[in-house]
Chains A and B, each alone.
Chain A
Amino acid sequence: MQNDVVYLDHAATTPLDERVLEAMLPHLGGAPDGRPRGNPSSLHSAGAAAREAVEEARASVARLVGANEPGEILFTAGGTESDNLAVLGLAASDPSRKHVVISAVEHPAVREAAGHLEATGYEVTRIGVDAGGLVSPARFAGTLRPDTALAAVMWANNEVGTVQPIEEIAELCREAGVPLHVDAVQAAGRLPIDVSRVPVSTLALSAHKLHGPQGVGALYVRGGVELEPVLFGGGQERGLRSGTENVAGIVGLGAASRLAFEELEERTRHEEALREALISGATGLPGVRLNGHREKRLSNNIHVSVEGVEAESLVLFLDALGYAVGSGSACASRGTPAGHKASPVLLAMGRTQEEAISSVRITVGKDTTRAGIDGFLEAFAAAVSQLRELSPLYTS
């Protein structure tokens, strides 16, 4: 039964690419020459081989984001760690600055890290977004101050897929002398990211959103940007991320980055065609409304509010029919015993509480087929109709 599932939740995680797995296996004990696993810090040949593999991966990630030097890439345990290291590390690098700017639609990894700074005495400005989820560069510029330690605006939103005007925002930060952190976890591999053109200070990405393994990520840190570590130990990763490297994971991230770089255009074109079919099919049903920006959105994301239907029941109903999609409030609903906590992203975009808890996210991937989308749209219509028949709030 699991084989029949059409997976449409690529924003949550992506299937591991077989080519990535191939690349990783030698580092999981499957080396064809029987060579022992090495620690990149060791002097012997096994250590050197591991070191070499890590450096090759670093070069691939550097190429994906357009970094000048592979040394600008740090490996971490994932997007959340990269975001935390950037936000906390940039803030700590100049203790005289006590102001932080973030957008109102940041991923919890940035939002909560900024909230932590707030609890320790920082002032945090949260810039609102318009109905499409966009940050206005003009409003953003107005929030930057001489004592602003850092700003953080994501490249593309993980829930509604809105792509921010990050070039303009980065330029404003450069002019104001404020370091900018960009969460590119959803954007990497979908949008042409080029830090040689866009003056960000730090940029986070994660392997498992790129058909790589879970539990590994990277942080781009522009040469010359000062960053304080948050982990202390053996001084790996230029002292900014101590701890023995997750070699197999890093190799997986490297392979995934190389493939994403090479196949970026092809993947995007494929995903966009499916996205358009999904948007017209889903919003063709009465009372189904697209959330996020119509044009400035990720190639693989559709996010809709379905009037009269609660998200979790729709997601599980679709699951029972063989389609895996994301709940608009998947993270938010965890651990809230009484009632739902609506997504702060949707509320920031001016959606009502009801719309927020009635929303689902459908995200395609490079291997999603047109037949899968057609089947999904049929199942979606059936699920929505049956749940609305059940709903005391919906009258057609």
Chain B
Amino acid sequence: MVYKPQVMEHLVRPRNVGELDAPGGVGESGDAACGDVARFTVGIEANRLEEVRYKVYGCAACIAAGSALSELVRDTHLLEAARVSKADLENSLGGPLPEGKEHALTLVLDALHKALEDHWNRQAGEMLVEGYDGGPDGGTNGRMKSVVVATSGGVDSAVTALLLKEAGYDAACVTFRLHDGERGSRSCCSPDTVLFARDTAHRMGLPHFTLDLKDLFDRRVMKDFVGSYAAGRTPNPCVSCNAHVKFHAASFLADRLGFDHVATGHYARVVEEPGGVTMARPTDAAKDQTYVLWPVPKELLSRTIFPLGEYRKEEVRRIAEEKGLAVAYTPESQDICFIPDGNYRGFVRKKIAAEPGEIIDTGGRTLGRHAGVVDFTVGQRRGIGVSAPTPLYVTEVRPAQKQVVVGRREDLEVSEVRVGDLNWFLDYGEADSVQVRYNSPSVTCEVEDSGGGEVRARLAEPVVGVAPGQSAVFYKGDRVVGGGVVRRDG
């Protein structure tokens, strides 16, 4: 193993060594037991990286990479600093590092990016924890066609960023840390979704930022998810995230960078209507995500771009392949992101104690016992634990009485739905149909205001399995008129 002279030069005369006394951000990556730790402190003024100091415990490659990186990013705009890739760093060290030493590049870049992440966290203060709706310096300030793209390390968001870049946008990618269940998020030696997303952005020549939204996500999504089960409702965490987390955080960063737009890899379209901006179903009906996007606030939607709304999934994959993006081969994510094994009940059970109670029929007769209402949702057929000549379905969950009501399929039919927590893009009166489940057709309806911030949707034909807590999304043709949360009857 022989190092290039540039590496030895940085080892013996490292630049920008130390720590800033009053840093604007601190980031550390690595682990003493693994043998490498890098720490960056940064001083940022008006989005310029005025000062950078670094420290490294580790091999010569790590020390040299830290030194070279500090030189590359010092006194540059944040967007330039966040664009520095492993390849850029390697070039500044005179070419490829010896085999087995490439991790030095990842280590020091990660420490720098964590320092930038810390900078945004300090900027955000409570804003991102409470929910962001445009900060003091919110709004755009002149960068035309500029966009912050939320990227997850998956194929859809990567192609979104690529399409916008190719359309001439000034694009910056951002990945959100939402919870600790992500692959490798706790270990320095295993694959990490953030590292992968960063690498993907850098390969496209785009700057990449990371925002730590774990507190916000916990408050607005995870607690709601667990609480809903306890209250006998069927939650949709993607809806909560879109309502409070993802678009707000992307807008927060866009405002800090002076960028106009935000974009995600969702399959939906944003369209201008006489009544204002609204959302519309995408070209690829099979991937339609409008059902979970209804709560995006209208003022955030008006700056949002969904490039994939015009594409089919196969095309997106083909674009990724043609452009040589490694994400082309990542598997489709299906489950709730913070429950990778798909065991929702197990997850909820760990958070709240289950209290046993009765299983009754629609006439009030006791049929059996259950271990806790959290194990049941309306419409459920499997695992009820009561035998009957005809299949039994859960028709209602009553957490206060610890009761689970079961009945026949017909008992699940409803012809009217109460909907609250509303968010409208167009006037509610324009709605001609409503969708009450993911991936199921919308049903013709009439909507009337029932007061108290609720509407009542009268369905042209009865539907089965409308559970409280689910979303009800109203459409006019392919336009999303608005949406809300299904209320309990009565």
Chain A residues at the B interface, C-beta cutoff of 8 Å? 308-310, 312-313, 316-317, 320, 334-340, 353-354, 357, 387, 389-394
Contact B60 A316 (CB under 8 A): yes
- The residue in chain B whose Cβ has the minimal distance to the Cβ of A309 is B57
Interface pair A353/B11, CB less than 8 Å apart? no
* New contact pairs (14) apart from A316-B11, A392-B37, CB-CB < 8 Å: A310-B58, A312-B59, A313-B11, A316-B8, A339-B35, A339-B189, A353-B33, A387-B63, A390-B57, A391-B55, A391-B56, A392-B55, A392-B56, A393-B57
Task: State in angstroms the CA–CA spacing of A392 and B108 once bound together.
Answer: 13
B353: CB under 8 A from chain A?
A: no
Cα–Cα, bound, A316→B7 (Å): 10
B8, B12, B103 — which one has the most chain A CB atoms within 10 A of its CB?
B12
Contact B34 A313, beta carbon cutoff 8 Å? no
Residues from chain A with Cβ under 8 Å of B320 in the complex: none
Q: CA A354 – CA B37 in complex, angstroms? A: 12
20 A-B residue pairs with Cβ-Cβ distance under 8 Å, sorted by A, are: A309-B57, A310-B57, A310-B58, A310-B59, A313-B60, A313-B62, A316-B11, A317-B11, A335-B100, A337-B99, A337-B100, A339-B188, A340-B34, A353-B32, A357-B35, A391-B57, A392-B28, A392-B56, A392-B57, A393-B57
CB atoms of A393 and B11 under 8 A apart: no
Inter-subunit contact B12/A317 (CB<8 Å):
yes
Distance in angstroms between the alpha carbons of A309 and B55 in the assembled complex: 12
> Is B38 a contact partner of A310 (Cβ separation < 8 A)?
no
- The chain B residue with its CB closest to the CB of A310 is B58
A354 and B59 within 8 A (CB)? no
Considering the complex, give the chain A residue whose CB is closest to the CB of B9.
A320
Q: Are A334 and B39 in contact (CB under 8 A)?
A: no
Q: Is the CB of B189 within 8 A of A390?
A: no
- Report whether B103 and A320 are in contact in the complex, using a CB–CB cutoff of 8 Å: no
Cβ of A339 and Cβ of B34 under 8 Å apart? yes
Which residues in B have their C-beta under 8 angstroms from that of A353? Answer: 32-33
B35 touches A340 (CB 8 A): yes
Q: Nearest-CB distance from A306 to chain B (Å)?
A: 11
In the bound complex, residues from chain A placing their C-beta under 8 Å from that of B59 are 310, 312-313, 340
Which of B28, B35, B100 has the most C-beta atoms of chain A within 10 angstroms of its own C-beta?
Answer: B35
Q: List CB contacts (< 8 Å) of B14-50 with chain A.
A: 14, 17-18, 28, 31-39
On whether the beta carbons of B34 and A336 are closer than 8 Å, the reply is no
Set of chain B residues within 8 Å of A390, measured between Cβ atoms: 14, 17, 55-57, 63
Is B311 an interface position by the 8 A CB rule? no
Chain A residues within an 8 Å CB radius of B35 = 310, 339-340, 357
Using a CB–CB distance below 8 Å, which chain B residues touch chain A?
1, 3, 8, 11-12, 14, 17-18, 28, 31-39, 55-60, 62-63, 99-100, 102-103, 188-189
| Bound: A392/B56 CA distance, A | 6
B57 near A308 (CB under 8 angstroms)?
yes
CA distance A233 to B245 in the complex (A): 74
Q: Are B58 and A336 in contact (CB under 8 A)?
A: no
> Do B56 and A354 have beta carbons less than 8 Å apart?
no
Q: Which B-chain residue is minimally distant from A338 (CB atoms)? A: B189
Would you give the shortest CB distance from A308 to chain B, in whole angstroms?
7
| Pick from B14, B31, B55, B102: contact of A337, CB under 8 Å | B102
A338 to B37, Cβ gap below 8 A? Answer: no
**CA gap between A389 and B102 in the complex, in Å:** 24
* Chain B residues closer than 8 Å to A391, beta-carbon distance: 55-57
In the complex, chain B residues whose CB is within 8 Å of the CB of A312: 59-60
Complex CA distance for A393 and B56, rounded to whole angstroms: 8
Residue of A nearest to B100 (CB): A337
Which B residues touch A309, using CB under 8 A?
57
Q: How many A-B residue pairs have CB under 8 A?
A: 77
B198 CB, min distance to chain A CBs, angstroms: 17
- B33–A313 touching, CB < 8 Å: no
Instruction: Tell me whether chain A's interface is mostly helix, strand or loop, or mixed.
Output: loop
Tell me the complex Cα distance, A310–B103, Å. 15
Residue of A nearest to B32 (CB): A354
Distance between A383 CB and nearest chain B CB, rounded to angstroms? 9
Most buried by B among A335, A357, A390: A390
Q: With A316-B3, A316-B8 known to touch, is A336 a contact of B56 (CB < 8 Å)?
A: no
Cβ contacts under 8 Å, B8 to chain A: 316, 320
In the assembled complex, which residues on chain A have CB atoms less than 8 Å from the CB atom of B3? 316
Determine the residue in chain B with the shortest Cβ distance to A357.
B35
* Inter-chain contact A336/B55, CB cutoff 8 Å: no
Contact A389 B103 (CB under 8 A): no
Q: Which residues of B contact A354 (CB under 8 A)?
A: 32-33
CA distance A313 to B7 in the complex (A): 11
Complex alpha-carbon distance, A56 and B217, angstroms: 80
B20 → chain A closest CB, angstroms? 13
A394 partner, pick from B14, B57, B102, beta carbons under 8 A: B57
**Are A337 and B28 within 8 A (Cβ)?**
no
| Bound CA span A254–B308, Å | 77
In the docked arrangement, what's the CA distance between A336 and B35, Å? 12
Which chain A residues border B18 with CB–CB below 8 Å? 389
Distance to closest chain A CB from B269 (angstroms): 43
For A317, list chain B residues within 8 Å (CB).
Answer: 11-12, 60
Q: Return B232 CB to nearest CB of chain A, in Å.
A: 47
Residues of B within 8 A of A337 (CB): 99-100, 102-103
Q: Which residues of A contact B28 (CB under 8 A)?
A: 392
What CA separation (Å) do A284 and B37 show in the bound complex? 26
Give Cα distance in the complex from A265 to B3, angstroms: 40
Cα distance A320–B33 in the bound complex, in angstroms = 26
The answer on a CB contact under 8 Å between B57 and A336 is no
Nearest chain B residue, comparing its CB with the CB of A342: B35
Cα distance, A327 to B34, chains bound together (Å): 16
CB distance from B7 to the nearest CB of A (A): 9
Scoring A310, A317, A353, A393 by chain B CB atoms within 10 A of each residue's CB, the highest score goes to A310
Chain A residue at smallest Cβ distance from B12: A320
Given A312-B59, A313-B58: A392 touches B36 (CB 8 Å cut-off) = no
B153 to chain A, nearest CB (A): 19
Shortest beta-carbon distance from A283 to chain B in Å: 21
Is there contact, CB below 8 Å, between A310 and B36?
yes
| Contact residues in B for A313 (Cβ distance below 8 Å) | 11, 58-60, 62-63
- B253 vs chain A, min Cβ distance (A): 28
Known A-B contacts A310-B59, A313-B60; A320 and B34 likewise in contact (beta carbons under 8 Å)? no
Complex CA gap A387/B57 in Å reads: 8
A357 contacts which chain B residues (CB < 8 A)?
Answer: 35
Complex interface: chain B residues within 8 A of A387 (CB): 63
Closest to A356 in B: B35
B37 / chain A contacts, CB cutoff of 8 Å: 392-393
Residue in B36, B38, B55, B99 whose CB lies within 8 Å of A339: B36
Report, nearest first, the 3 A-B pairs whose CB atoms are least far apart: A340-B35, A339-B34, A392-B55
